[in-house]
Amino acid sequence: MQGMSPTTSHTVSWFLDSVNRGDWKKHARFWMKWRQEGAFQISRLWTILIQGHFAANQVDKGLLCLVKMTEKDTNPDADLLDVLVKGFLSQRKMDGAYTFVVEMVNKLRLVPWQATYKLLIEKLLQVRKLEEATDLLRLMKKHNYPPFPEPFDQYISKFGTVEDAVNFFKVLSVKEYPSSVAYLRMLDSFLREGRDSEARDLLFKCPHHVRKDHKISKLFGSAKTGDKTA
């Protein structure tokens, strides 16, 4: 492990093996030894310990370790945040995962991994928490990650409203409007869900240049053709 001596790296590897085997007595003795030696600043070790507790379905113990970690002036990093989010999700604690990520970003200025954002957004949309998923999309944008529209297109076109789509476009906006491709994807998703009326209402709310876009005009021309031949 980078930044550790060979002896330390070997010891941490041994510790990880004991956690993976579920040998909690061994890792408890190991932890006490490291505590006495003042080695509490190694965030990787905290991550391993917390991950082990979550894997053993000991969420409360994992969270207690997190509290102890912060008491020792060791803040979570993106690696640990990813572990914690997956731990929450494994327990179907979507709200807990969302709240934790938002707090870590706002209070500690932590920047989560892009993959962490994507996973949590997908899980939130699966339980119809559009507002929370949209909040995370805003944070992704703040951290200069690329847009992640796909799950929103699918969710909003199936369960959402025209206003939900309009608000989503506002989140995607950089200066004025998202690209025409973003509108095209959403409109196409509405049509594929058989929500032609909502698609036309949404088109009416789109900027003028989007309504005149060739591909979007063609999309609705195809929809008309489909109506006539049905």
Per-residue pLDDT of the chain (230 residues; tens, 9 = 90+): 444 444 445 555 555 565 556 555 555 666 566 655 554 446 777 787 788 788 878 778 888 888 877 776 677 889 889 988 998 898 888 999 999 999 999 988 999 999 999 999 999 999 999 999 999 999 999 999 998 999 999 999 999 999 999 999 999 887 678 889 999 999 999 999 999 999 999 999 999 999 999 999 999 886 554 444 44
User: What distances in angstroms separate CA 87 from CA 47, 120, 129, 153, one per listed residue?
Assistant: 12, 12, 19, 27
Model confidence over 193-222: pLDDT tens digits? 999 999 999 999 999 999 999 999 999 886
User: What distances in angstroms separate CA 113 from CA 45, 60, 105, one per listed residue?
Assistant: 19, 24, 11
Q: Give the pLDDT of residue 39.
A: 47
Write down the domain spans for the chain.
75-146, 149-230
pTM of the full structure = 0.78
Which residues touch 33 (CB under 8 Å, ≥6 apart)? none
- Three-state SS for 54? helix
Q: Tokens 């909502």 label which residue?
A: 198
Q: Give the pLDDT of residue 66.
A: 82
Q: Give the pLDDT of residue 13.
A: 57
Residue-wise over 213-227: b if at least 16 C-beta within 10 A, else e?
beebeebbeebeeee
Residue-wise over 127-142: b if at least 16 C-beta within 10 A, else e?
eebbebbbbbbebbbe
Q: Which of 189, 147, 190, 154 is nearest to 169 (CA)?
A: 147
Q: Which of 77, 53, 78 is nearest to 65 (CA)?
A: 53
Q: Give the pLDDT of residue 46.
A: 76
